[in-house]
Structure 1
Amino acid sequence: MAQADFRFETVEPEFDHLTLSNAPVEVLATGFRWIEGLVWMGDWGTLLFQDLPRGRTMAWSERGGLAVWREPSGNANGQARDREGRVVACVNLERAVVRIEHDGRITPLATHFEGCRLNSPNDVVVKSDGSIWFTDPPYGIANDYEGVRQMSELAPTVYRLAPESGELTAVSRDFQGPNGLAFSPDETLLYVAETGDQRHSDPTQVLRVLPVSDDGRSLGPMRDLAKVAPGYTDGLAVDEAGRIWSSAGDGVHCLSPDGRLLGRIRLGMTVSNLTFGGGPHLNRLFIGASHTLMAVFLNTRGARWP
């Protein structure tokens, strides 16, 4: 593993306590076309991530290094782990959310809504009650690089898939391009990255937050939380204190729960997605930086299910 000359930049003193002076950013692997969908598989000691345009899901571990986990992946994008340890993935070519069973079989979970095909599910999270929440912008059907160019049949939407009945509900249609998403540690808030209509020269790009209802099935009024620049929030991860670690055009930005910028990890390249993992403490931040997989140990831990 190579160590690179990246730097931490403090904006508020709190950030100094989150970094470790003897834990530099490490380059784990490179040569990918565009990294997405990072998810930590704790009992495997393995990180899964997408080499999206190549249509393959990769696996990295400290002992085993890099390997192909699933190919073809259907140009899969975001992925998460459910309560039974199975992988739930957003698949561009299928325009679907699927579950990868323990024996490798693929079970479609969501393909249509109100008689129309989904666009291209982008990112997914699994709540502690087993419900699956995902975003559905048209990005994966906008060109032939990350999928296949096709017509959109539905407006961009955030959905909830009920754990037992499989009922699909539109929980928010107030987005032009909903992208990455994550729950707060207590699951009372849902953070959603708005990356806008990419056909416009100046798309709306802002991190938004929505309160989750007491029954956990719907969302309250949305508000803007933070605007990340340069670049924008694409993927995000939340730590144990509710801080938000956001992708950005120059690396990773750390935000307080109320949206204040605390500090940056300057990488000099665009970050697409990130996740906590690395062992039982979840104190290692894995970073998908364009074509390069990176990681850094931090003095905080990733959020766990309540």
Structure 2
Amino acid sequence: MFGVLEGTGFEVIEPEFAACFIGHARVERLWTGARWSEGPAWFPAGRYLVWSDIPNNRLLRWDETDGSVSEFRTPSNNANGNTVDTEGRLVSCEHLTRRVTRTEHDGSISVIASHWEGKRLNSPNDVVVKSDGSVWFTDPSYGILMDYEGERADSEIGDCHVYRADPETGKVEVVATGFFKPNGLAFSADEAWLYVSDTGITHHEDGPAHIEKLKLGKDGKTVEDRRVFAVCSNGIFDGFRLDRDGRIWTSAADGVHCLDKTGALIGKIHIPEMVGNVCFGGAKLNRLFVAGTTSLYSVFLNVNGLK
């Protein structure tokens, strides 16, 4: 069941990609049994990975020391995206409760964001933490469109935005509007740019299936410019991460796509099912963990991810 899989591997589209992988390294399936895997987050101190199985309403934990998988939290409130903050705590987007939460070191849960201007959020989807401790997250309506990954409800806000929660005041503010379904997001290494995917094509016939590149203002809190960075050639760009050289490793319908600094597709890692999200892990951040539809995969690369 587990180990190296047939039908997986690397596809070189541009020569640059050939230097990103190790010739004898192969894609490994570490575990299977989910309904829809999402939001992998690596915890270096414990050498484990936490990820979401959204429809099964649980967070799972893969242990690097022995390869075991256990339930980290059940119920998870249909948690989707996860990340690790500057103090090593788990930050999660919960569809069912329509909020962003933080798991404290003692195991208690604090609410980071649940409302904007007195209105409930739609269903926070993915989240990143900036070096200043601010929490940035997307808020599409996927979790309130159906009961499978949340609970059907009307949007109180009426739109889907990208938000920032201030680390000092806790105030939640909109930083970017005009999205159909804002989804995955990540900062560049210098935090001068924020990348956000828009997966609006899932519910709008002519909707987007791209990643936008947003330039932050000098205050590091606002957006002063934005442009389309890359359009997905197979399915949608859901979740993604950057490596230290500025390449983006992003989910797609046929696996993981690697984009260079200009947004050009330079290569693929083929996975035998649709991919929801990825993250870098391991002691040297050179192991890419891939949340496929039903399974958790990994592959060692010749690149290093951002923390």
Mapped to 1, the partners of 2:272 and 2:95 lie a distance apart of: 28
Mapped to 2, the partners of 1:268 and 1:84 lie a distance apart of: 35
Q: Does 1:298 align with 2:306?
A: no
* Aligned-residue offset at 1:202: 3.6
Partner of 2:28: 26
Please say if residues 241 and 303 of structure 1, whose CA atoms lie closer than 8 Å, have aligned partners that are also in contact: no
Mapped to 2, the partners of 1:186 and 1:79 lie a distance apart of: 21
Q: Does 1:257 align with 2:258?
A: no
Mapped to 2, the partners of 1:231 and 1:9 lie a distance apart of: 17
Q: Does 1:164 align with 2:165?
A: no
Please say if residues 229 and 249 of structure 1, whose CA atoms lie closer than 8 Å, have aligned partners that are also in contact: no
Give the counterpart letter for 2:167 in structure 1: P
For 1:109-124, list aligned pairs within 5 A: 109-124=112-127
Q: Does 1:141 align with 2:151?
A: no
Match of 1:189 among 190, 193, 198: 193
Please say if residues 8 and 264 of structure 1, whose CA atoms lie closer than 8 Å, have aligned partners that are also in contact: yes
Mapped to 2, the partners of 1:176 and 1:272 lie a distance apart of: 18
For 1:100-111, list aligned pairs within 5 A: 100-111=103-114
- The normalised TM-score by structure 1 is 0.97
Partner of 1:48: 50
Mapped to 2, the partners of 1:214 and 1:220 lie a distance apart of: 9
Give the counterpart letter for 2:3 in structure 1: A
Mapped to 2, the partners of 1:255 and 1:109 lie a distance apart of: 32
Partner of 2:181: 177
Partner of 1:73: 76
Identical-residue share of aligned pairs (%): 48
Give the counterpart letter for 1:62 in structure 2: E
Partner of 1:4: 5
* Aligned-residue offset at 1:129: 0.6
Please say if residues 52 and 77 of structure 1, whose CA atoms lie closer than 8 Å, have aligned partners that are also in contact: yes
**SS in structure 2 of the partner of residue 14 of structure 1:** helix
Partner of 1:222: 226
Please say if residues 278 and 288 of structure 2, whose CA atoms lie closer than 8 Å, have aligned partners that are also in contact: yes
Go from structure 1 to structure 2 and tell me whether the alpha carbon gap of 1:214 and 1:32 turns closer, same or farther (over 3 Å shift): same
Please say if residues 242 and 303 of structure 1, whose CA atoms lie closer than 8 Å, have aligned partners that are also in contact: no
**SS in structure 2 of the partner of residue 54 of structure 1:** coil
Between 1:78-87 and 1:127-136, the stretch displaced more is 78-87
Could you tell me which runs of 5 or more consecutive residues in structure 1 were left unpaired when the two chains were aligned: none
* Aligned-residue offset at 1:124: 0.2
Deviations 1:185-206 (A, max 9, x none): 1111100000016432342211
Please say if residues 83 and 127 of structure 2, whose CA atoms lie closer than 8 Å, have aligned partners that are also in contact: yes
**SS in structure 1 of the partner of residue 269 of structure 2:** strand
Mapped to 1, the partners of 2:240 and 2:254 lie a distance apart of: 14
- The normalised TM-score by structure 2 is 0.97
Give the counterpart letter for 1:3 in structure 2: V
Deviations 1:173-220 (A, max 9, x none): 121110000001111110000001643234221111101112211112
Q: Does 1:288 align with 2:303?
A: no
Between 1:71-80 and 1:264-273, the stretch displaced more is 264-273
**SS in structure 1 of the partner of residue 275 of structure 2:** coil
Mapped to 2, the partners of 1:198 and 1:276 lie a distance apart of: 27
Mapped to 2, the partners of 1:229 and 1:156 lie a distance apart of: 24
**SS in structure 2 of the partner of residue 145 of structure 1:** coil
Match of 2:134 among 128, 131, 143: 131
Mapped to 2, the partners of 1:199 and 1:210 lie a distance apart of: 23
* Aligned-residue offset at 1:292: 1.0
**SS in structure 1 of the partner of residue 212 of structure 2:** strand
**SS in structure 1 of the partner of residue 18 of structure 2:** helix
Give the counterpart letter for 2:29 in structure 1: V
* Aligned-residue offset at 1:221: 1.9
Mapped to 1, the partners of 2:47 and 2:271 lie a distance apart of: 25
